[in-house]
Amino acid sequence: MAKPSLYASARAPGKLILAGEHFVVLGSPAVSMAINLYAFATAQATAEAELKVEANILLATLGDAERKSRPDTKELLEPFRLAARESLDSLGRKRKGVSVEIECQIPIGAGLGSSAATAVAIIAATSRAYGATMDKSRICQIAFGPESYLHGSPSGVDHATSTYGGLIQFSKPDKVTKVRVKRMPSLLVCDTNVHRSTKGLVRSVVKGAKADSEAYRSRVGEVSEISKAVLRALRRSDDVELGELMNRNHELLVEIGVSHPMLDKLVMAARKAGALGAKMTGAGGGGCMIALCEDEQMTSRIGSALRKLGGSPYLVSIDPTGVVSSTNSTVLK
Ligand code: PMV
């Protein structure tokens, strides 16, 4: 068995969903992109079978109101302890422990995949601390446990995007196709600053799909076509087509009740300010929206329109690599 190293560190990216959120849980493919906002984990192998997970930054990013409505710190960290435990089990180190510290640049509960990225970084760092380099498919498999703990019935798109990086098409249970494009679209992300739980939103959609299966079947079919068309538009660098597809995808998400008045307000304002397309991204109910911009001038015009309405816009770019790890204390920042 490989010798445990003292420290290891890993970094895993957050994500944006360009098409197919929620419907991916019901069977449509989704198109997502890893972004240059990261979760970091440092891990130290310990001789006792003890798990220690610390995450000061993660908790500090929660506002007072959210902190009240959320479970206590212990509960909040449970999925991350699970990520560390399942990594050790998978390495055949059931009797060993690990001490993990996490930091997260990705806003929490904002639809950008903060929990999946944190779990993926913990898994990669823990295995490196024990002298192993897990392959990406195994990291992804292990990350499903903590994501299920948090989200109930996740599709897997968040942790697949964080693990593999770049632009991917994802279908349940674990089909990942890396997509290569000549030019990445210019996307402005805007946070509504209303944060919420993915679990409740996913549960409500699954419940709705059971109650009204006919209507949902047709929407799942339409979103599947949208996802395929989004890939074609990306490959052709056809931003006009991509924008129209994003708009239609947003309408379908509104129909199933996962948007939020603030999201709709920002989406409308972005389109009015010239965006080629705009939609919510991730689970909705608040969180973030994305706007497709033609050039820098348009980006700054849309950014100031969204800021005036109370949104927090920021520019992101693609993360091409996904999770990376190192066998020393460099936290890869
Ligand atoms: O947790 P979020 O907001 O990043 O969104 C996850 C994407 C969903 O499609 C809503 C759920 C899933 O597991 O696919």
Give CA–CA dist 157/138, Å, rounded: 15
Whole-angstrom CA distances from 142 to 2, 53, 86, 88, 135 are 20, 17, 7, 10, 11
Is 282 a pocket residue for ligand 1 (Cβ < 6 Å)?
Answer: yes
- For the CA of 157, the nearest atom of ligand 1: 14
Give CA–CA dist 178/197, Å, rounded: 28
Which of 77, 48, 18, 63 has its CA nearest to residue 241? 18
Is 29 a pocket residue for ligand 1 (Cβ < 6 Å)?
Answer: no
Residue 21 CA, ligand 1 centroid: distance in Å:
6
Residue 158 CA, ligand 1 centroid: distance in Å:
7
Is 21 a pocket residue for ligand 1 (Cβ < 6 Å)?
Answer: yes
Residue 162: CA atoms inside 13 Å, Cβ hemisphere, count?
A: 34
Provide the annotated active-site residues: 158
What is the structure's pLDDT at 331?
Answer: 53
Query: Cβ distance 126 to 163 under 8 Å?
Result: no
Give CA–CA dist 35/315, Å, rounded: 10
- For the CA of 111, the nearest atom of ligand 1: 3
Spatial CB neighbours of 43, under 8 Å, sequence gap ≥ 6: 7, 8, 9, 10, 84, 98, 99, 100, 122, 125, 126, 128, 129
Q: pLDDT per position in the chain (333 positions), as tens?
A: 555 557 899 999 999 999 999 999 999 999 999 999 999 999 999 877 677 787 754 444 444 444 445 555 666 788 899 999 999 999 988 878 899 999 999 988 899 999 999 999 999 999 999 999 899 999 999 999 999 988 888 999 999 999 999 999 999 999 999 999 999 999 999 999 998 788 899 999 999 999 999 999 999 999 999 999 999 999 999 999 999 999 999 999 999 999 999 999 999 999 999 999 999 999 999 999 999 999 999 999 999 999 999 999 999 999 999 999 998 766 566
Give CA–CA dist 319/4, Å, rounded: 29
Instruction: Give the SS3 label for residue 313.
Output: strand
Reading the block at residue 72, the tokens are 């206590």
Is 169 a pocket residue for ligand 1 (Cβ < 6 Å)?
Answer: no
Which of 121, 134, 143 has its CA nearest to residue 332? 121
Residue 24 CA, ligand 1 centroid: distance in Å:
9
Mutate to test the pocket of ligand 1, among 15, 153, 157 (most ligand atoms within 8 A of CB): 157
CA angle 264, 197, 26 (to 5 degrees): 80
For 15-30, give one letter per residue: b (16+ CB within 10 A) or e. Answer: bbbbbbbbbbbbbbbb
What is the structure's pLDDT at 311?
Answer: 97
Query: Cβ distance 100 to 42 under 8 Å?
Result: yes
Is 191 a pocket residue for ligand 1 (Cβ < 6 Å)?
Answer: no
What is the structure's pLDDT at 297?
Answer: 94
Is 154 a pocket residue for ligand 1 (Cβ < 6 Å)?
Answer: yes
Residue 282 CA, ligand 1 centroid: distance in Å:
5
CA torsion sign for 59, 107, 227, 207 is positive
- Kindly calculate the radius of gyration of the chain based on its CA atoms and give it in whole angstroms: 19
Q: Whose CA is nearest to atom 10 of ligand 1?
A: 283
What is the structure's pLDDT at 332?
Answer: 60
pTM of this prediction?
Answer: 0.92
What is the structure's pLDDT at 119?
Answer: 96
What is the structure's pLDDT at 329?
Answer: 60
What is the structure's pLDDT at 70?
Answer: 53
